[in-house]
Amino acid sequence: MNQHTPAAGLLCSGLIGYCRAGFEKELAGEIDDLAAEAGLIGFVRAQPDTGYVVFETFEPTPLGSFGEATDWRRPCFARQMLPWFARVEDLPERDRATPIVDAVKASGQRFCGVVLETPDTDEAKQRSGFCKRFTEPLAKALEKAGCLRSSRTGLPVLHVLFSDATTAWLSAGQNGQCAPWPMGIPRLRMPSNAPSRSTMKLAEAFMTLLEEGERDNILRAGQRAVDLGAAPGGWTWQLVGRGLRVTAIDNGPLRDSVMATEMVEHLKADGFTWRPQRPVDWMVCDMVEQPSRIASLMAEWIATGKCRYTIFNLKLPMKRRFEAVEQCRELIRKRLHSVGPFDLRIKHLYHDREEVTAFLTLKR
């Protein structure tokens, strides 16, 4: 993080990461590693099925000292990653605003906006209505206290996470460092004519794994793509919707709505052995197979120049999920080490369950 950003001097108490309930252990391991890399001394607290993980430093630390540890893109299992500076407990039901405003004033930091959030659990979602109702009153109270300057660009956004009805974690969301969506979840609608819900996974992958300007440059109408394990056509449908011509590889059938686009060639073949006669721009893969086998296949396509970019899904074992992801990273690294520098991004998306989604390309 730039030492000269408006929030660089904010004293923070640690990091807080949001995740899918049940993946706290995996995220805790990642946050611990990131904190150690940044030279932060503290401890991790993670409770099963809560949907969030906290790293707490032994001493308050200037935000500018956190380095890249606050970048939400780095940990695979984090939907959001934020530096937190206050935990407000025992909030009174009749006046939750005053203790929160007091904590913000005590920090000495001003903010350009405020976002109220809950963990993504069934129990916490019951507070989502309250968060919507409380956002405006809290914003007005913060503004009155001089803590909110909506006209000031460059200031962080105040994130208020209600972990329960009487506890709020206050964090500073820096532009470019935190996920741009509330709770770290992109809001996508299921298209009525899509062949399967899996199309949402690829749509989210494009939003999450690629930067906005990057999407415009490397994902363009007229490009050629291959979809390995395409049936019933959810990922192919997403590519076609963006104007790409797709060769769909699967022994199973594709939905009529996909074939009706006239932008798809369906070949009944084995996704592990089939190769295109000419290099393509994109290859995507959502085959159900051991993650190590998929990772090796993806690295092979990139190493041999069969495609320039790939997005793929890795199905994880119920146990040792973090270890499975790291094994796949290492397999890809070994295959591409002699080829050249590469860019590998892996995320546990909102639409992923016991799986993660990855983007891979050679650096050019």
Residue 164 known to bind ligand: no
Residue 257 known to bind ligand: no
Q: Which of 315, 334, 347, 363 is catalytic?
A: 315
Residue 234 known to bind ligand: yes
Residue 198 known to bind ligand: yes
Residue 231 known to bind ligand: yes
Q: CA-based diameter of the chain, in Å?
A: 68
Is residue 17 a contact partner of residue 40, using CB atoms and an 8 Å limit?
no
Report the length, in residues, of the chain.
364
Q: Is 315 a catalytic residue?
A: yes
Is residue 14 a contact partner of residue 57, using CB atoms and an 8 Å limit?
yes
Distance CA 217, CA 262 (A): 25
Residue 51 known to bind ligand: no
Residue 71 known to bind ligand: no
Residue 33 known to bind ligand: no
Binding-site annotation: residue ranges for S-adenosyl-L-methionine: 198, 231-234, 250, 270, 286
- Give the residue numbers marked as catalytic: 315
Binding-site annotation: residue ranges: 198, 231-234, 250, 270, 286
